[in-house]
């Protein structure tokens, strides 16, 4: 039996719809993995310091990869897409003779796509690198709305709450609207 993974996809820079579509196409190419379902696209008010509205979607994958291997495949997609389009802020300092130039810290890189593992079967993982179910799910309407479209009866393995129940009871008041299809 393949594993059933739900992936949260978000973009708030550049051509957001195209970024989400590209991430989906790249996820479909992950080995031993197939796209089972996709939600509609939603537009959501940002949390935190970001100013631009996000485009969000949830993708259900069937995969033979482990959660950790899936995380590293998703990070590769984020890096490839970020690196391809991100504009460097300043010219990097030349590397000292004989030493490789230091890569910028990940938080400094402009990322056009964010891919999170929301659920992975009913697994509970709590390591520094990976937390599953994603801890923000109950506080993120932009995740719960698309998730409720594809898997309303999915049960959170730690709280026992369904996605529908979490959506009905979340305290997140940020605006999330269904985007018209193009
Ligand atoms: P972010 O910048 O919000 O995409 O966070 C990326 C970091 O979160 C990565 O270094 C991951 O190792 C870590 N992380 C922990 N749990 C998860 C998860 N469920 N899905 C994606 N990234 C995760």
Helix (H) or strand (E) segment spanning residue 57: strand 54-63
CATH number for 22: 3.30.70.560
Residue 103 lies in a domain: no
Task: Tell me how far apart the alpha carbons of residues 108 and 88 are, in angstroms, rounded to a whole number.
Answer: 10
What is this structure's pTM? 0.87
Q: Is residue 46 part of a domain?
A: yes
138 domain-assigned: yes
Q: How far is CA 112 from the centre of its chain?
A: 11
**Does 64 qualify as catalytic in the annotation?**
no
pLDDT band at 9 (very low <50, low <70, confident <90, very high): very high
Structure tokens at 19: 């970024």
Q: Is residue 98 part of a domain?
A: no
Q: Which atom of ligand 1 is nearest to the CA of 118?
A: 19
Q: 71 CA distance to ligand 1 centroid (A)? A: 8
pLDDT recorded at residue 70: 98
The residue from 16, 26, 116, 172 that is catalytic is 116
Using one digit for the tens of pLDDT, what is the confidence trace for 54-93? 999 999 999 999 999 999 999 999 999 986 654 554 555 5
pLDDT at 111 over 50: yes
Give the model's confidence band at 104: pLDDT under 50 very low, under 70 low, under 90 confident, else very high. Answer: very low
Active site residue 116: yes
Asked if the structure places residue 126 within a domain, the reply is yes
Ligand 1 pocket, residues with Cβ under 6 angstroms: 71, 114, 116-117, 129-132, 134
Residue 114 falls in the annotated catalytic set: yes
Q: Taking a C-beta distance cutoff of 8 angstroms, is the pair 114, 89 a contact?
A: no
Q: Is residue 76 part of a domain?
A: yes
Give the three-class secondary structure for 165: helix
Asked whether residue 171 is domain-assigned, the answer is yes
Residue 136 located in a structural domain: yes
* Number of domain units in the chain: 1
Asked if the model's pLDDT at residue 99 lies above 60, the reply is: no
- Nearest Cα neighbor of 173 from 127, 137, 140 is 140
Catalytic residue, from 37, 83, 108, 175: name it.
83
- The per-residue pLDDT for 48 is 87
157 pLDDT more than 90: yes
pLDDT band of residue 181 (cuts 50, 70, 90) is confident
Whether residue 117 contacts residue 88, with contact meaning beta carbons closer than 8 Å, is answered with no
φ/ψ of 162, rounded to 5, equals: -80, 165
Q: What percent of the chain has pLDDT over 90?
A: 79
Domain containing 163 equals 3-85+109-178
């Amino acid at each position: 039996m393949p594993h059933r993974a739900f992936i949260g996809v978000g973009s708030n820079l550049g051509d957001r719809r195209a970024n989400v579509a590209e991430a989906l196409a790249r996820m479909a190419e992950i080995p031993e993995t197939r796209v089972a379902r996709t939600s509609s696209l939603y537009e959501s008010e940002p949390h935190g310091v970001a100013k631009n509205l996000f485009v969000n979607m949830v993708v259900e994958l069937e995969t033979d990869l482990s959660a950790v291997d899936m995380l590293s495949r998703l990070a590769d997609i984020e890096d490839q897409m970020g690196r391809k389009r991100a504009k460097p802020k300043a010219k990097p300092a030349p590397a000292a003779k004989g030493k490789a130039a230091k890569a910028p810290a990940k938080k400094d890189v402009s990322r056009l796509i964010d891919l999170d593992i929301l659920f992975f079967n009913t697994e509970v993982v709590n390591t520094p690198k990976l937390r599953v179910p994603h801890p923000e799910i109950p506080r993120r309407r932009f995740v719960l709305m698309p998730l409720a479209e594809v898997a309303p009866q999915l049960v959170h393995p730690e709280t026992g709450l369904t996605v529908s129940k979490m959506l009905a009871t979340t305290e997140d008041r940020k605006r999330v609207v269904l985007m018209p299809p193009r």
